Amino acid sequence: MTIPPFAPLPASLPATVPFVGPETLQRRMGQDFAARLGANENGFGTSPRALQAMRDEAANIWQYGDATSHDLTQALARHHGVAPGNIIVGEGIDGLLGVLVRLMIAPGDAVVTSDGAYPTFNYHVAGFGGALHKVPYRDDAEDPQALLDLAGQVGARLVYLANPDNPMGSWHKAGVIRQMLEDLPAGSLLVLDEAYAEFAPSEAIPQIAPDDPRVIRMRTFSKAYGMAGARIGYAIGHPELIAGFDRIRNHFGVNRIAQAGALAALQDQDWLAQVQALVAASRDRIADIAVRNGLTALPSATNFVALDTGRDGDYARDLVAALQDLGVFVRMPGVAPLDRCIRVSCAPEDQMAVLEERLPVALAKLG
């Protein structure tokens, strides 16, 4: 006997995962990583206040979470100076992107992104039958004008841009983003992924009216707030667009422990400032290690640094594998010419010391 057939769209797709997780790699190796530097997690940790709030809330885990994330939504609205109707909380940016694509994209609808940009967005577009159209990076950064030009040509419903960018760490100034909105083709929605906004210089974050119907902004507690495992993020947008999420989202998908932790983390801005300083110092540390090993650290406005090997993608893949064999987990961009680089997450000094010790060993093995 066999199972009933899948629906036509998922049946046409390959079984894939946008990223192979470090736990999977550790199981394959039969040992843990000595330095976990590949997932852009915040190794400096979560606010102690957030940790305590989550411990306190654990006793109530028998209860479903608040389907509206009311307290967190209210706090986020105050934090950003917007109305609660401009905010939707969800299961990280990944979950919110999935709901957005389902809300906006019918099979065959055009979506524009950059070749080499965040692959989870592409995964959702494919999963709902959208037609992906891509432009190359320019000077190791996403190219706003090329995105706009292609969006106009194909009649894109969604245009994706991350600022700051993953995987390169580059960023555009606020004026570039504002001009992009002015030039956005009619009928297009800019998906502005700001997962790393808390690490960016102030001139990279534009002031955009929360009711602007041309854009939805994605934020997360995974990076600067150190809550990647809690899976909680939020979006800011026009209230009618935000209300649309209620038509199809998983209303009880954000658990109550994550809500409590995110609320406490948001209220502990002193801890956030401490993390920002530690990340800035760690970026300098990674750059120093890179230079002493003949690699070039690209400028970064995130909690990771792209290191240019000066070679090609095959060499960078071999370097990632060699580091993995030595217990150092890093990742790399997947598309040429970005794939000449490896990507190293910021982390505490004990893990930086492991990188400092083992990077030259890995490079020596490659010759």
Q: Which of 267, 282, 309 is the last residue of a domain?
A: 267
Please give the pLDDT value at position 345.
98
Please give the pLDDT value at position 18.
83
Q: Which of 200, 235, 267 is the last residue of a domain?
A: 267
Is the separation of the CB atoms in 216 and 189 below 8 Å? yes
In a domain, 259, yes or no: yes
Please give the pLDDT value at position 124.
97
At position 38, the amino acid (one-letter code) is G
In a domain, 12, yes or no: no
In a domain, 9, yes or no: no
Residue 158 belongs to a domain with what CATH number?
A: 3.40.640.10
Domain carrying residue 210: 48-267
Instruction: Kindly state whether residues 241 and 327 are assigned to the same domain.
Output: no
Assign residue 7 a region: left if phi > 0, alpha if psi is -120 to 50, beta otherwise? beta
d(CA 193, CA 202): 16
Selection from 79, 80, 46 nearest residue 257 by Cα:
46
Instruction: Kindly state whether residues 207 and 287 are assigned to the same domain.
Output: no
In a domain, 304, yes or no: yes
pLDDT below 50 — which residues of the chain?
Answer: none
Give the global pTM: 0.97
Please give the pLDDT value at position 167.
97
Instruction: Kindly state whether residues 241 and 283 are assigned to the same domain.
Output: no
d(CA 367, CA 362): 9
CB neighbour burial string for 259-277, b if at least 16 within 10 angstroms, e if fewer: bbbbbbbbebeebbeebee
In a domain, 172, yes or no: yes
Instruction: Kindly state whether residues 276 and 256 are assigned to the same domain.
Output: no
Starting at the edge strand found earlier in the chain, the sheet holding 233-236 runs 87-90, 233-236, 215-220, 189-193, 158-162, 110-114, 131-135
In a domain, 27, yes or no: yes
In a domain, 4, yes or no: no
Please give the pLDDT value at position 367.
84
Please give the pLDDT value at position 119.
95
Please give the pLDDT value at position 36.
97
Instruction: Kindly state whether residues 150 and 260 are assigned to the same domain.
Output: yes
Instruction: Kindly state whether residues 314 and 287 are assigned to the same domain.
Output: yes
Chain centre distance of CA 32? 24
Instruction: Kindly state whether residues 245 and 278 are assigned to the same domain.
Output: no
In a domain, 7, yes or no: no
d(CA 144, CA 159): 10
Please give the pLDDT value at position 264.
98
Neighbour-count burial of 28, counting CB atoms closer than 10 A to its CB (0-12 exposed, 13-18 middle, 19+ buried): exposed
